Amino acid sequence: MRALTLRADFAPRDGYPLDERERREHRIQNGNMVWRHPQITLDEIAEPVPKPDEVIVQVAAVGICGSDMHMYEADAATGYMLYPGFVKTPNVLGHEFAGRVVSVGSAVRDLREGDLVSVEEIQWCGECIACRRGLVNHCENHEELGFTIPGAMAEYIACRARYCWKLDDVADRYGEDIALQLGAMVEPSGVSYQGLFNRNPSWLPGNHVLIFGAGPIGLTAQALAQVAGAGRLIMVDPSPSRRKIAAEMGATDLLTGSEKLDEAVLEITKGRGVDTVVEAAGVAELTIQKLEQCLAVNSTLVDIGLGERNPVMPIVTYKYRGVNYVGSLGHAGMGVFQNVIRLLANGRIDLRPIVSASLPLTEAKAAFQRLESREDAKILLLPNE
């Protein structure tokens, strides 16, 4: 079968302390510190065979994520991969996807051939202390589809049944073809849902919301915030095409990021400031680091974007204003996939405007190159077309 494979040179930077597992398995905790000269190729590989607790999914649609781009892109000066999270290479990319179950393992009870499913990327163990506390996004033994184990930019993928969520209700509303494309948007929507609602201690309907980055995470955060009763919704992105999508989806205010942010946000909110800030751009040093006076009392900074640099935060201001800073990672647990699928199935959120192109897997490399300009919001790859 065809699959898009990421490869890179194993070249740990001077001073990076490889642990025993990293040395043994090349499963690196910070790809930016080890993997050099990344490249992607379309290869022919063997089709997967299901283990007893797995299903085989024929991939209908898989999104190219910002993380995929950061694994593909390299620093111009050093050649090191930009992505600072878990990466193992060589590996098949792709973690935002939906498809049809075509084979079922002997121990699987709740899925059958023909089911349409969306699948969690974080493969939590369920046994470590973090999982036993319900914090499955921080599983101490997790694997990640498309990062550390084979992903979905392939014609077929093997998935443990417990990570699969049916899309029946979405198909009832839109038909199977659209349901499968929307199913590929459940994972990025889940990332936004986790940050906005599960991690945010101060969410209330009527909150003024500021979002950095009108990519898929930022735009799904916008859709979720709006359906949950946001007051003003301010989207910040330098791309005119992405700001246009945000406006069409209902953003009340648009900024480019070149403004004096404190002043601009205070003017928009008539001096009240914002109650919720979502960092979905991955450049916190250029976004939330610049915010101070526009943060309302008891506001929350939800930091989702994963960048290379650590920002410098005005913690004295945070103390005086009672600002909450929360890091948010992942999309699993606490009903996230279930609830996003319900919102899609009932027409409460419509993510179709986010998809700017759907291309066959044979055009994957061109799609990655196209996304370098950051003008598209979401490009879906269709591995079986």
> Which of 275, 317, 278, 272 lies closest to 298 in space, CA to CA?
275
Q: In terms of DSSP bridges, do strands 2-10 and 209-212 run parallel, antiparallel, or are they unpaired?
A: unpaired
246 class by beta-carbon count within 10 Å (0-12 exposed, 13-18 middle, 19+ buried) = buried
pLDDT at position 310: 83
pLDDT at position 93: 98
Q: Where are the domains of the chain?
A: 2-185+351-382, 191-327
pLDDT at position 306: 83
- The end-to-end CA distance of the chain, in Å, is 13
pLDDT at position 75: 93
Whose structure tokens read 């065979």? 49
Beta bridge partners of 295: 274
Angle subtended by helix axes 216-227 and 240-248, to nearest 10: 20
Judge contact between 190 and 331, C-beta under 8 A.
yes
Superfamily assignment of 2-185+351-382 in CATH? Medium-chain alcohol dehydrogenases, catalytic domain (3.90.180.10)
Residue 374: which region, alpha, beta or left (left: phi > 0; alpha: psi -120 to 50)? left
Judge contact between 276 and 207, C-beta under 8 A.
yes
**Nearby residues of 17 by Cβ (< 8 Å), 6 or more positions away:** none
3-state SS, residue 75: coil
pLDDT at position 189: 97
Dihedrals phi, psi of 260, to nearest 5 degrees: -75, 100
**Which stretch of DSSP H or E encloses residue 298?**
strand 295-303
pLDDT at position 344: 98
Taking 70 as the pLDDT cut, the residues of the chain under it are: none
Catalytic amino acids?
67, 70
pLDDT at position 199: 95
Class of 191-327 in CATH: alpha beta
3-state SS, residue 12: coil
CA dist., res. 273 & res. 267, Å (int): 9
